[in-house]
Structures are given as C-alpha cells and as structure tokens.
Amino acid sequence: MKKTRSLEQKEAMLGWWLVLPATIIILSLILYPIITNIISSFFKVSLMDRDTFVGLENYRNIVSDPEFWRSVMITLVYVVGTTLGTTLVGLGVAIVMNKTFPLRGLVRSLILLPYVAPVFSVVYAWKFIFDPVNGIFMDVMVERLGLFEQRFNLIGNPETALWVAIVFSIWKNFPFTYLMILARLQAIDKSMYEAADVDGAGRWQQFRFITMPELYFVLGSIVLLRVIWNFNKFEDIFLLTDNLKVLSIYTYFKAFVGVVDLGQGSALVILQFALLIGFILFYVKKVLKW
C-alpha cells in the first residue's frame, strides 16, 4: 500500500498535517463553546451545584417576555438604519472622492479618522458633546440658535437614544464602506463612461446603468458584513447609551447582571444566532446569488 502512494497523495497528507494544529485550535476555540452553549441552553445552570435539565423552559421564558420582542424590534431598527446609512453615506462620499480635486489625497485619508479612532475615546467625546447641562450641542441649539425651548438629554432619553446610536454608528463606520466602494470605482473602465457619453446618456443614466451594476457585488458584500457586525454590536451601544436594549445588551443583562442565569443567556444567544443565520442564508441566495 505504502509504496503505491503517489507524490500527489503525499503532498495532500503533508498539507493535512500542516493545517492540523490550526484546525484543532479553531475547533476547540469556536466549535467547543458553541456546542457547550447549545447544551447549557437546555439547562438551569447553577454556578456551584450540578445543572438541572429543564428542556425548552429557557426558550419558553424568553419568547413569552415582551422585553425580548421589544429588543428584537430595537435591534432590527438599529441594523436597518445603520446598514442603510453607512452604505448610502459611504457610496456618496466614494463617488465624490473618485473625482479629481486639489488635496484629494489628504481629504481621502482624513475621512478614515472616525473608523480608526478607538471606540472608547470617541464615545466619551460624544457623551460630552451631548451632555444636557454642559455639552456644546445643547448650548448651541438652545442658547445660541434658540431652536429648542429647553435643554434635553439626547443620549439619555430612551426615545432619542436609538437614533443617536444609529447616527453614531453611521458616522463611525461609513469610512469602511467608502473605502471598499472607492476601490471598486477606481477599477471601472473609463471607456464605458466615454461610450455612454457618445450614446448621449446623462449622469443619472450612467450611474444607473454603469456604476451600479459594477458595484452590485461590492455593495452586496458590504451590506451583509454590516448586518452581521451590527446585529451583534455591543460595545458602541453599551458605552454610548444608558439603557438601549438591543439583543446583545438584553442578553448581557439577562445572563450576567446580578443573579447570573447562564442557561437563559445561552438560549438567548442561540436564538440570536438562529435569526442571523436565517437572514444570511436568505441573503446569500437571493442577493449575492451564490
């Protein structure tokens, strides 16, 4: 047997040996936690004693909690708002930055700043700007411009907090979208626009029939990534707002604050995971057409 092994087979074997350590590490760091998570979602997890099997009770508790459905709605609004926002702003900025104008290089790199600045410091700057009593935003809006009669707490108020979080995320993340789109824009063959000009196509028609089709798959991928990232977003929202319960923060409160309920937390994570996977499968088939 051994002697008949060809060089190709040997190469393949070597390949397997080389990736084996990495595979083991990945499996133990990703697959193992996922499996433990699924298992513990069916248990009442006790920190000191043995866990007790409770079947679907964790899931039933979650689904019957109106707060859960509220946080699903908030998450949806957040994800749709931020994804639309980052994509549209990124697209607009990319198109402008694709034109030639003086100091373009400098402007292009300055636009990246919100994306590269650490979340922590940026969040605190925002908090300071929107502080109802000492912040510059209220000072300008109320005292200088008189647009509002009274000062209010834009970040703290549960009704406005969601919108602040969305605007924050758009501001912070549009540079990534812009970067990806700009890279694709630069690769579009100029002769197509020239040909369109000759045929008498206007600006809008050029955008509609040349630029958009060329960008389709880049936009599709960016939207997918943004949805995945923002669906699980925790740190921006947790740091910026006081009590905006998107799914990940709702899970954090359920699982870790005060009396720990890891079983319920696990069940929540599984539900969140299922929602996301469902969306991804649909999206990949319909939009990315794989």
Partner 1 sequence: MKRLALIALMAIAVLSMAYANGDTEAAADSGPVTIEYWTTQTQSDRLATIGVLVDTFQVMNPDITVKVIAVDENQMATQMNTSASAGTLPALLEAATPNTVAFGTAGLLNEAAATDLINDIGADEFYDGVLKLNQTGSGGNYYSVPFHGWVQGIWYRADWFEKAGLNPPKKWDDIIKAAEYFYDPGNNQYGILVGTMAEAYAEQCFTQFAMSNGAGLFDRDGKLIFNSPEMKEALEYYAELAQYNPPGPQTWRARDYYIQNKMAMFFYSTYIMDDLALAENAAGSLTSENFAELAGTSFDPDLVKNTRMAPIITNTQDAGYGTIVSLAFPDTGNAAETAAAQKFVRYLFSPNAYITFLHMAPGGMNPVIKDIAVNPRFQQDPKGLFENYGTDKMAEIINGLDSIETFGIVDGKRIDAASVIYSKQIIPQMIYKITQEGMSVDKAMDWAEAEMRKLM
Is residue 147 part of the contact set for partner 1 (CB under 8 A)? no
- Asked if residue 153 binds partner 1 (CB under 8 A), the reply is yes
Give the closest residue to 234 by CA, choosing from 131, 161, 165, 156. Answer: 165
Q: At closest approach, how far in Å is the CB of 253 from partner 1?
A: 9
Query: Which residues, 6 or more positions from 52, have their beta carbon under 8 angstroms from its beta carbon?
Result: 43, 44, 46
Q: Which residue has the tokens 């947790």?
A: 238
Cα separation, 129 vs 124, whole angstroms: 9
Spatial distance between the Cα atoms of 179 and 67, rounded to a whole number of angstroms: 38
132 binds partner 1 (CB under 8 A): yes
Q: Binding to partner 1 by residue 64, rule CB under 8 A?
A: no
- By CB under 8 A, the count of residues binding partner 1 is 26
Which of 59, 115, 137, 152: binder of partner 1 (CB under 8 A)? 152
52 by DSSP, 3-state: which?
strand
**Two structure tokens written together for 84:** 């639309």
Burial class (CB within 10 angstroms; exposed 0-12, middle 13-18, buried 19+) of 247: buried
Residue 158 as a binder of partner 1 (CB under 8 A): the answer is yes
Judged by CB under 8 A, the residue of 8, 106, 258, 289 near partner 1 is 258
Applying the rule CB under 8 A, the residues between 27 and 56 that interact with partner 1 are 47-48
* Contact stretch for partner 1 (CB under 8 A) within 7-15, 31-39, 117-125, 251-259: 251-259
Which residues are near partner 1 by CB under 8 A?
47-48, 132-134, 136, 139, 143, 149-158, 242-243, 256-260, 262
